[in-house]
Amino acid sequence: MAKIANDKTQSYFITFEGGEGSGKSTQIQMLADKLKKNNVPHITTREPGGTPESENIRELLMSGGKDRWDGVTELLLMSAARREHCRKIIWPALENSQWVLCDRFVDSTMAYQGYAHGTGRAAVEQIQNVVLHQFRPDLTIILDMPIDVGLKRAKARGKTTRFDNLDEQFHQSVRDAFLDIARREPNRCTVIDASGSMEAVHDAIWQVVTSRFAVT
Ligand code: TMP
């Protein structure tokens, strides 16, 4: 893919996706540090969340028993949180020439609610079209690793959520879903093996980012 010139007023929306414990937040921080060194204005944010209202919705989604919400209700709550996040944080930042690095976005809804929870691709696509119109990430980095490694890492972090407590079959479906999404949209999505060292994964991400967008 041709490199897009960065005249420092052009901004990009980069999303990070992957299963539990795949190292997204570490990698977002490492990429943010690198962008800072290169004087690229940027923000980091996450979903569900990113605004006080969306963080409230996050709390509803993350707490309680695993059957507290079904897939459709989760799809609606995630999408409501996303709408607020886009309107108040993501779209203004991009307009303001800041790159946005986001921990999860639409592909998480497709993988978790659409595939693993079984609401189906069409339902997710319909709601996302209402929430986002044509807006989609410029680049999506999918951090891929075997689910047992990721779940072990997530448990070691201590705090577990409703999602960590779902069974292995669910998490395997999420992993397969991300790989399927990447196969369907190879121009937007890049799969990176996340089982290597933090530095190796960061180097791979930096290579992808700099091959797509000029940062210096
Ligand atoms: P995380 O902050 O540890 O990534 O946790 C967020 C959880 O929310 C994670 O288990 C994935 C889940 N999630 C969805 O199910 N659908 C979504 O659309 C998003 C953004 C997250």
131-177 pLDDT tens trace:
999 999 999 999 999 999 998 888 888 767 888 778 899 999 999 99
42 Cβ partners below 8 Å, 6+ apart? 32, 35, 36, 98, 99, 100, 101
Q: How confident is the model at residue 94 (pLDDT cuts 50, 70, 90)?
A: very high
20-55 pLDDT tens trace:
999 999 999 999 999 999 999 999 999 999 999 999
The atom of ligand 1 lying closest to the CA of 24 is 4
**1, pLDDT greater than 60:** no
**123, pLDDT greater than 60:** yes
Q: Which amino acid is at 61?
A: L
Q: How far is the CA of 152 from the centre of ligand 1 (A)?
A: 17
Q: How far apart are CA 141 and CA 107, in angstroms?
A: 10
pTM for the full model? Answer: 0.95
pLDDT of residue 215: 87
Q: What percent of the chain has pLDDT over 90?
A: 84
Q: How far is the CA of 158 from the centre of ligand 1 (A)?
A: 17
Among residues 153, 148, 142, 149, the alpha carbon closest in space to that of 168 is found at 148
pLDDT of residue 153: 87
pLDDT of residue 214: 84
pLDDT of residue 9: 67
Q: How far is the CA of 183 from the centre of ligand 1 (A)?
A: 21
Q: How far is the CA of 103 from the centre of ligand 1 (A)?
A: 9
* Residues 4 and 212: beta-carbon distance below 8 Å: yes
Binding pocket residue ranges, ligand 1, CB within 6 Å: 20, 47-48, 78, 104, 108-109, 112-113, 163
**86, pLDDT greater than 60:** yes
